[in-house]
Amino acid sequence: MSTDDLKLLQQVTDKSNFNFHSNNQTLKEANMRLHNPVPKDLQVYKPHLQKSLEQLVNGANLQAKLRRSQNETSQTSS
């Protein structure tokens, strides 16, 4: 992600737009919302939000793989 991505993401956070920022939505729900049309004044943020969400999903997937690997290792060493 570039500094421009981060600056625009900060602007979205500052606006606290409910379309993109909801504490009770899952990553999957947030991703689905980004595939829906967004208001014209928020279109500039959409690609940057998609990049950010992709990074979050990749991080979550990596954490899940690490946990599975650790569980398998602990089971085989028992």
pLDDT tens per residue across all 78 residues of the chain: 788 888 887 777 766 555 555 567 777 787 777 788 878 888 888 888 888 888 888 888 888 888 888 888 888 776
pTM of the model: 0.53
What pLDDT, on the 0 to 100 scale, is given for residue 22?
58
**Residue 16: predicted pLDDT:** 53
pLDDT for the residue numbered 15: 64
**Do residues 49 and 7 lie in contact, with contact meaning Cβ atoms separated by under 8 Å?**
no
Per-residue confidence (pLDDT) for residue 36, from 0 to 100: 81
Annotated domain spans of the chain: 3-76
Angle, in degrees to the nearest 10, between helices 3-15 and 46-76 = 100
Q: Calculate the alpha carbon distances from 3 to 10, 24, 40, 46, 71 in Å.
A: 10, 28, 23, 16, 37
